[in-house]
């Protein structure tokens, strides 16, 4: 019969965890990943589900459009570097109830535990991204990206400022995230408040920066979501290096707004005009 680990979606999930660890984004038990499963994936994996599912666990959030859905999720307190070694102990498949406000574990976390502490935040943002993308987005990924975290300590916590800085760090960045990136001020992780604040940003953006904490992204598949995370973090790295190399001052030369518009036209993407037209009082932030 084989094992659940032979199912492509499980392999892809494990591979993405490994890729994030390889980038240095997941120290200890940092970061988390969830995936909203397709019906055919659930049907394949169901043969491996527990004979007796776990107890229903009530969440502090609710979503009508996620009733009856199944999610693959990393575990709370689990190290992403161990996912490929022992997936059955570090990840889980959870089922959402008919009220859209509770989950139960149907597979995984065999040595005990529960889904990531930020599952309510993921859950609510899955609801938003499912709605605004007509069901296309299925992946939510959070990582402790060091250069994004560094920039939140020196830039104004505004979507317009961060997006413009990141777009202008390297030529093709605006093609990967033409809508921009949202910014959430520092909040205690894992609760309803940060879930709601992130939802407000994910209504408009594919990605949201968490001040002093990292990056939160969505995508239709693992490759797209990981690529978005990787591109934004690399842009932040370049921006950090450029600022440091010039003594914290504005770079001597930079991609102009007209350059950005030309890139968008050439690649057939529509850049967020609100961000392009944003005027900041401090010229440092371009």
37 and 71 Cβ atoms separated by less than 8 Å: yes
Q: Which one, of 113, 137, 144, lies nearest residue 34 by Cα? A: 137
Q: Which one, of 73, 90, 63, lies nearest residue 141 by Cα? A: 73
Longest dimension (CA), the chain: 64
How far is residue 53's CA from residue 103's CA, in Å, rounded to a whole number?
10
How far is residue 12's CA from residue 35's CA, in Å, rounded to a whole number?
10
162 and 155 Cβ atoms separated by less than 8 Å: yes
* Given 41, 118, 160, 201, the catalytic residue: 118
Collect all residues with Cβ–Cβ distance below 8 Å to 136 and sequence separation of at least 6: 220
72 and 138 Cβ atoms separated by less than 8 Å: no
86 in active site: no
List active site positions.
118
């Amino acid at each position: 019969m084989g094992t659940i680990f032979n199912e492509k979606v499980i392999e892809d999930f494990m591979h993405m965890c490994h890729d994030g660890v390889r980038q240095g984004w997941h120290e200890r038990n940092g970061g988390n990943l969830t995936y909203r499963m397709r019906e055919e994936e659930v049907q394949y994996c169901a043969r491996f589900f527990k004979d007796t599912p776990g107890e229903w666990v009530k969440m502090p959030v609710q979503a009508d459009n996620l009733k009856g859905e199944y999610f693959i999720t990393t575990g709370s307190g689990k190290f992403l570097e161990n996912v490929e070694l022992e997936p059955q102990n570090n990840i889980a498949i959870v089922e959402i109830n008919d009220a859209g406000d509770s989950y139960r574990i149907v597979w995984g976390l065999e040595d005990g535990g529960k889904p990531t502490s930020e599952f309510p935040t993921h859950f609510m943002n899955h609801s938003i991204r499912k709605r605004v993308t007509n069901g296309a987005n299925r992946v939510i990924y959070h990582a402790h990206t060091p250069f994004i975290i560094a920039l939140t300590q020196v830039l104004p916590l505004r979507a317009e400022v961060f997006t413009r800085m990141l777009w202008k760090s390297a030529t093709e960045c605006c093609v990967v995230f033409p809508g921009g990136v949202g910014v959430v001020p520092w909040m205690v992780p894992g609760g309803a408040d940060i879930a709601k604040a992130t939802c407000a940003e994910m209504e408009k953006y594919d990605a949201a920066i968490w001040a002093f904490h990292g990056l939160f992204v969505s995508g239709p598949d693992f490759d797209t979501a990981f690529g978005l995370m990787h591109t934004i973090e690399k842009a932040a790295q370049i921006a950090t290096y450029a600022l440091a190399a010039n003594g914290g001052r504005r770079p001597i030369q930079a991609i102009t707004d007209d350059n950005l518009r030309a890139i968008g036209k050439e690649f057939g993407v529509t850049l967020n005009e609100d961000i392009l037209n944003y005027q900041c009082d401090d010229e440092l932030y371009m």
